[in-house]
Amino acid sequence: MPDRPRRPRLRRALLAALVTFAVAVPVSGAARPAAVPAPAPTAHGPLRDASPAALEERYAVSRRDIRAAGRMAAGHGDLKRAASLRAMAAPGRQFLAFDGRDGGRSTEVVGELATARRIAVLVPGAGVGLDAYWRLRRDARALHRELGEAAAVVAWLGYRSPATVSPAALTTGRADAAAPGLRALADGLRAVRPAVRISLLCHSYGSVICARSAPGTAADALVLYGSPGVGAPNAASLRTGARVWAGRSDGDWIARVPHVRVRVPFVATVGFGGDPVADGFGAEVFDAGDGGHSDYLRPGSRSLTNLARIAAGAEPLGASRD
């Protein structure tokens, strides 16, 4: 019997096991963050003015909203959330938007948006929320240091990130809901800074969101890294004028996730299809080094160097395929 037909069956079996695991493992910890109460934030409206004075006013309003959410979290007895929010409300932090409800949403700027010549938007994957926000902040600061003072990094936690091990992390539902917000952010940045270079740097499940927001995006570059797939068969089907890049580090466990889509009766379509770093996908593949799934923005890494070069409009160093 030839071996060839076994691969599709094996991949489907692996995916089925992954689905079973995600459903069977208790996810009470994933539900907890959404249960922390928070007040309704101040309504900002779209970003229409990127002058230093207008931005500082917006940052100050968001800071007050974060502090109010922190007080409510403390009153609720969630000291971890309260501590995270106190750090987020520190002087000098710059949030374009914040909403502490339903797990939390935020958009933070590292650098000077009013004068930046390049803007990189970080779109995080699963397992990121207000309680672990420091990780996203750390990555944004690392990227900003690599890019230099002529750039601004926008850390976009604009959706309820699914738990890493959960049914939501295996379907496009959260990404479908998040995509309009990411598209609106890119459009707003383009409107207030029309000559600036805008790059969307999309990690893991965040790459699914970026793919959903890709048609007609105002971004110049779409960078998919550590991706489980994007819910599309190839780069052309993203229908974007942005330059599409993809990278995966040698030590990333996501390479072992089957790149298939399977319809699970009465549930959803599970999985994200084609591998963005595969030859047939059609993205430009860059060298992402040898780190793990959470190491792409680690200082000194090849992946950080190349992500920054792409965001700056330069060609990445080396090649993942020689």
CA–CA separation, 70 and 78 (whole Å)? 9
Res 30: pLDDT: 39
pLDDT tens digit string along 199-256? 999 999 999 999 999 999 999 999 999 998 898 899 999 999 999 999 999 999 998 8
Helix 133-147 and helix 79-88, axial crossing angle in degrees, nearest 10: 20
Q: Across the chain, what does the average pLDDT equal?
A: 87
CA distance 253 to 261: 19
Question: Which of the two residues, 186 and 271, has the higher pLDDT score?
Answer: 186
In this structure, the dihedral spanned by the alpha carbons of residues 69, 74, 79 and 85, taken in order and rounded to 10 degrees, is 20
What confidence score (pLDDT) does residue 274 get?
Answer: 84
pLDDT at 180 over 60: yes
pLDDT digits (tens, 9 = 90+) for 63-76: 999 999 999 999 99
In this structure, which amino acid lies at residue 321?
R
Mean pLDDT of 121-137: 93
- What's the rounded mean pLDDT across residues 50-77? 97
Contact of 200 with 49, CB cutoff 8 Å: no
Residue 33 has pLDDT above 90, yes or no: no
Residue 161 vs residue 194, higher pLDDT: 194
Rounded Cα–Cα distance for residues 198 and 1 (Å): 52
Query: What's the whole-number mean pLDDT along residues 106-129?
Result: 95
What is the percentage of the chain residues whose pLDDT exceeds 70?
82
Tokens of 168: 């939501």
DSSP string for residues in 234-280: SGGGG--SSEEEEE--TT-GGGGS----EEETTTEEES--S-TTSGG
Please give the residue that has the higher pLDDT: either 260 or 95: 95
User: What integer pLDDT is reported at residue 257 of this predicted model?
Assistant: 83
Model confidence at 318, pLDDT cuts 50, 70, 90, reads confident
Q: Using CA atoms, how far apart are residues 276 and 288, in angstroms rounded to an integer?
A: 13
pLDDT attached to residue 244: 98
What pTM was estimated for this model as a whole? 0.88
Strand order in the sheet with 105-111: 95-99, 105-111, 151-157, 118-123, 197-203, 221-225, 243-247, 284-285
Residue 200: the pLDDT is 98
Q: Is the dihedral of CA 161, 166, 169, 171 positive or negative?
A: negative
| Residues whose CB falls within 8 Å of the CB of residue 264, separated by 6 or more in sequence, listed in order | 19, 270
How confident is the model over 269-293, as a mean pLDDT? 90
Region 7-26: mean pLDDT is 45
Question: In angstroms, rounded to a whole number, what is the distance separating the alpha carbons of residues 160 and 168?
Answer: 10
User: Are 232 and 316 a contacting pair, CB within 8 Å?
Assistant: no
